[in-house]
Amino acid sequence: MDYCTVGFTGARMSALSLGCMLLGPDKPAPPNARRYISNKEEGIACVRYAIDHGVNHFDSADGYGGGLSEVWLGEAIKPYPRESLLISTKLGACGKVDSSAPHVYSRPNILAACDQALQRMGTDYLDFFIFHHPGFGEFVEEALDAMSSLQQAGKIRWYGNSIYSSVPDIVATYPRLHPGHWHAGGGPLWHAPDDAGFMEIKRRGEAAVLMAPLLSGLFSGAYGLAELPEVQARFAGHWWFEKHDMAATLAAMDRVKARCGDLVAVLYRYCLQLPGVASVLPGFRTLDQVKSSIAAVERAPLTPDEMQFIYETMREETTRTGN
């Protein structure tokens, strides 16, 4: 397993992180969703296998698995030295923890959410505490001050922001979100090899973790243009389809596979070679998926020509419907 030393923390983060969104019981979900990990022993086994094979960064959130994601993750990491792991969780997207707080990013709610996460995970501190998507409004300064106070109290080590796009816009709008640990969505579909936001993150000596690199499994490599009807049925209702042409998207994937090979490994390597990126963050729901992701990040680096080809082939301008 490769590691990246994150400048602002000095921490060594594994090239593969694992997102624990599916770690928890079955719950109502959109038609495109696969089953969640409803068996605690299976979920814990996945996390421990990953740790035993070099993965040291795991990401959860207050609402994942109805709250059980944090609980099960905490139980899974108990046998390991706490300082050997990097644990992150998020707040905000799933609503307020303190119902009396005026906003999810107001100071009372941030402090309550941190205490809840620490209790659920059975740990004394979080390595990363992350705003779960922008939307600070008038509370941005209060939110950042609250995070600073949690750092001073030793409850968190660093904080950051979780977004799906517009990294340059967020960097420009919230310059005080620094030092921080960024979560940013996707690979070549969103980010060019010279993405301005990531260049700025690299300049700051910070780190981005690219989440959802396989877009809920669509980019797993299992589908091509020949499977268009199956994809349309399986992923009906997915937010991606509202703005993208699936035939064009699958055709682009076929071109990348024809030139570069295994799509999972190719997209993971693409993400890892973007400036300022420390790790790639897929989800998991089976042990086989964990094993596959571990193998994929070990692929040899892509050439500059391959990086440019992948970006030009799969970028959003190619796949959008114009809506």
> For residue 164, which amino acid is it?
Y
Please report, for the chain, the start and end positions of each structural domain, with discontinuous segments joined by +. 3-221+262-301
Find the largest Cα–Cα distance for the chain: 56
74/266 Cα distance (integer angstroms): 32
Task: Give the count of beta carbons closer than 10 Å to the beta carbon of residue 129.
Answer: 27
**Of residues 97, 132, 95, 127, the one with CA closest to residue 112:** 97
213/206 Cα distance (integer angstroms): 20
213/183 Cα distance (integer angstroms): 12
The length of the chain, given as a count of residues:
323
219/260 Cα distance (integer angstroms): 14
CA–centroid distance for 99 within its chain: 27
Does domain 3-221+262-301 correspond to CATH entry 3.20.20.100?
yes
Q: pLDDT per position in the chain (323 positions), as tens?
A: 888 888 777 889 999 999 999 898 755 554 444 567 888 999 999 999 999 999 999 999 998 988 999 999 999 999 999 999 999 999 998 899 999 999 999 999 999 999 999 999 999 999 999 999 878 888 989 999 999 999 999 999 999 888 877 777 777 777 677 656 788 888 888 888 888 888 888 888 888 899 988 888 888 888 999 999 998 888 888 877 778 888 999 999 999 999 999 999 999 999 999 998 999 999 998 999 999 999 999 889 999 999 999 999 988 888 877 54
> For residue 302, which amino acid is it?
L
307/269 Cα distance (integer angstroms): 9
Query: What is 103-158 written as a DSSP string?
Result: STTSHHHHHHHHHHHHHHHT-S-EEEEEEESS--GGGHHHHHHHHHHHHHTTSEEE
Residue 210 pLDDT: 92
Q: What is the pTM of this model?
A: 0.92
> For residue 193, which amino acid is it?
P
Residue 33 pLDDT: 47
Residue 25 preceded by cis peptide, ω within 30: no
71/116 Cα distance (integer angstroms): 10
